[in-house]
Amino acid sequence: MKKTVVVGFAGTVLDYVGKGGQRWEKWRPTVGLCQQDDLLVDRIELLHDTRSRGLFERLKEDIATISPETVVKSVEINLRDPWDFEEMYAVLHDFAHGYAFDTEAEDYLIHITTGTHVAQICWFLLAEARYLPARLVQTSPPRKREGEGVEGRYSLIDLDLSRYNKIAARFAREHEETVSFLKSGIATRSASFNRMIEQIERVAVRSKAPMLFYGPTGAGKSFLARRVYEMKKARHQLAGRFVEVNCATLRGDSAMSALFGHVKGAFTGAQTERAGLLRSADGGLLFLDEIGELGLDEQAMLLKAIEEKRFFPLGSDREVESDFQLIAGTVRDLKQWVAEGRFREDLYARINLWTYELPSLAQRTEDIEPNLLFELDRFARDQGGQVRFNAEAKRAYLRFAVSPAAKWSGNFRELSASVTRMATLAEAGRITEAGVDEEICRLQHAWSGQIESPLADLLGARVDEMDLFDRLQLERVVQVCQQASSLSDAGRRLFDVSRQEKAKANDADRLRKYLARFDLDWRQVKLGADG
């Protein structure tokens, strides 16, 4: 049978009995532990400093009186401040590391009632991490009304048993609820997308560092940023506002003023002072969508604001402060823009710690069906009436929606608009095959120009300003890029002949420079292919 060994502190307050005190009339946790009828303590190791040697001797004498079979050993430690967490943890860790545990022959208990609260926390951490192969034992004073003796009561806490597992299960449930919260409004069956959301949740809870969301327009960057903000605010990690800025709308002095604010008279028309969006986000979360569109001057000031939490408003010689958390969004290949000098390398390094690429709808076709149901539920909440598909109508719509003919250039926003149109036109709350056929024709007509010209998504109205020669050439280059697996692969396909004449030619660099002539980059072209 294993021997029971208890390790604990000599309680300088609870175990102490002053001169002339009646040692058997006061509850003393260390003594009381050795008085329990159903717990035989074979050895007790009492930690104390040099000032408590007298207390240890008194405890040793009293334990010998009530439990002569218990061996009481002194463990003298050098502890300057028992309330210093770092010092206490180091002392107890050294004790655990140097103790000769014999788990085959002995069963170990850690007495957590005596000692400071800091000591109790350290005992728990060391036992939970299995530096101490022991259970925790807690003693409590007697309940006089129930006639308990002065020895009081004790309870064992085994960190490997079901009680601890229930705590762990509760944390797991809270984690799942948080992930579900982040995904609410993002119906998904995609395993890879689920894994990405789970990591975003862990990072958002544990870190204040910036995050960067890549993805095409309509992929949900803004929505996910707001959900991160709402999650952190619910956990009391943020108290300020959610401030969203589309950097593509900011140009020149107006960009500086909008972001950093200005003082009166800073420029023509600045008749009053303006706080700016960064100060509005103080204590909250700032979402800078299309961050790649910022000018280099704005990028430099933004970097200072991120790192130092202070900056100069336009026209001011006095700094202001704003402690915000940042999420940035972009469709651009910022790494490539850094190489071209269009985006600051130091700012990119600062916001690139946690980078996530949000897939387009075309990359998540398995999510089209659950999003149909989500959008119908949202329509019901907004309009106050339930609408559902007929079975054949739903099958017809899904066949088209997941087919190569469905471009989904607007991603989830376009899917939402499509469902809203069908639901609005549905008679008696049912979407029929005729309604689906009409919507498919509407989508095909909207996409017809885009299908004929792959440049429509990339250049918009600028296509009409191009010479026919340039447009036809660029269209073919874009098609090759969209079929290629990488920038280098596309370069090899496009320059397979001239490469033989220029042995040192860099195909990828040649293609990169060609695309840059039209203000395009590789990632942008590939995202255009994805929808």
Is there a contact between 15 and 28 (Cβ–Cβ < 8 Å)? Answer: yes
Q: Tell me, yes or no, whether 345 and 203 share the same domain.
A: yes
pLDDT of residue 451: 43
Instruction: Tell me which of 68-82, 96-110, 236-250, 263-277 is least confident.
Output: 263-277
Q: What is the CATH number of the domain that holds 30?
A: 3.40.50.10770
Residues of the domain holding 96:
3-160
Q: What is the percent of the chain where pLDDT is above 90?
A: 37
- Is the predicted pLDDT of residue 178 greater than 50, yes or no? yes
Query: Of 452, 484, 505, at which residue does a domain stop?
Result: 452
* Pairwise CA distance, residues 526 & 482, whole Å: 6
Residue 183's identity, in one-letter code, is: K
The 10s digit of each residue's pLDDT in 262-292 is 788 667 667 788 888 999 999 999 999 999 9
Is there a contact between 490 and 514 (Cβ–Cβ < 8 Å)? Answer: no
- Is the predicted pLDDT of residue 168 greater than 60, yes or no? no
The 10s digit of each residue's pLDDT in 317-328 is 888 999 999 999
The 10s digit of each residue's pLDDT in 438-471 is 999 999 888 875 544 567 667 766 776 777 788 8
Mean pLDDT of 154-173: 63
Q: Tell me, yes or no, whether 373 and 510 share the same domain.
A: no
Q: How many CA atoms lie within 13 Å of 245's alpha carbon, on the beta-carbon side?
A: 29
* Pairwise CA distance, residues 524 & 530, whole Å: 10
Q: pTM of the prediction? A: 0.54
* pLDDT band of 236, cuts 50, 70, 90: confident
- Is the predicted pLDDT of residue 117 greater than 50, yes or no? yes
Nearest by Cα to 470 from 425, 520, 524: 520
pLDDT of residue 343: 93
Q: What is the CATH number of the domain that holds 332?
A: 3.40.50.300
Q: Tell me, yes or no, whether 218 and 194 share the same domain.
A: yes
Residue with more model confidence, 353 or 151: 353
Residue with more model confidence, 77 or 413: 77
**What is the dihedral angle through the alpha carbons of 95, 99, 105, 109, rounded to the nearest 10 degrees?**
0
522-530 vs 468-483: helix crossing angle, rounded to 10: 80
Residue 500's identity, in one-letter code, is: Q
Q: Tell me, yes or no, whether 234 and 353 share the same domain.
A: yes
The 10s digit of each residue's pLDDT in 465-522 is 777 788 888 888 888 888 787 888 888 888 877 766 655 568 888 888 888 888 888 8
3-state SS string for 272-322: CCECCHHHHCCCCEEEEECHHHCCHHHHHHHHHHHHHCEECCECCCCCEEC
Residue 97's identity, in one-letter code, is: H
**Is 166 part of a structural domain of the chain?**
no
Mean pLDDT of 162-181: 56
- Is the predicted pLDDT of residue 431 greater than 90, yes or no? yes
* Pairwise CA distance, residues 464 & 450, whole Å: 13
Query: Of 357, 383, 414, at which residue does a domain stop?
Result: 357
Residue 244 pairs with which residues in a beta bridge?
Answer: 287
Mean pLDDT of 43-62: 93
507-516 vs 487-494: helix crossing angle, rounded to 10: 90
Is there a contact between 203 and 392 (Cβ–Cβ < 8 Å)? Answer: no
pLDDT of residue 527: 67
* Average pLDDT for the chain: 84
pLDDT of residue 531: 43
- Is the predicted pLDDT of residue 161 greater than 70, yes or no? no
Q: Tell me, yes or no, whether 322 and 396 share the same domain.
A: no
pLDDT of residue 74: 95
Residue with more model confidence, 177 or 406: 406
The 10s digit of each residue's pLDDT in 1-19 is 899 999 999 998 888 886 6
Residue 298's identity, in one-letter code, is: E
Q: What total of structural domains would you count in the chain?
A: 4
pLDDT of residue 20: 56
pLDDT of residue 19: 62
* pLDDT band of 529, cuts 50, 70, 90: very low
**What is the dihedral angle through the alpha carbons of 207, 212, 216, 220, rounded to the nearest 10 degrees?**
20
pLDDT of residue 530: 46
pLDDT of residue 145: 66
Query: Of 325, 340, 357, at which residue does a domain stop?
Result: 357
**Is 349 part of a structural domain of the chain?**
yes
Residue with more model confidence, 218 or 32: 32
Nearest by Cα to 478 from 507, 518, 509: 518
* Pairwise CA distance, residues 158 & 167, whole Å: 12
**Is 248 part of a structural domain of the chain?**
yes
Instruction: Tell me which of 50-64, 104-118, 389-403, 485-499 is least confident.
Output: 485-499
Token reading at 405? 């003919």
pLDDT of residue 307: 93
* Pairwise CA distance, residues 499 & 489, whole Å: 13
Q: How many CA atoms lie within 13 Å of 36's alpha carbon, on the beta-carbon side?
A: 23
**Is 165 part of a structural domain of the chain?**
no
pLDDT of residue 184: 52
Mean pLDDT of 286-311: 92
pLDDT of residue 460: 65
* pLDDT band of 377, cuts 50, 70, 90: confident
Q: Tell me, yes or no, whether 216 and 151 share the same domain.
A: no
Q: Tell me, yes or no, whether 410 and 341 share the same domain.
A: no
Find all residues with CB under 8 Å of 359, minimum gap 6, and list them: 190, 192, 193, 215, 219, 530
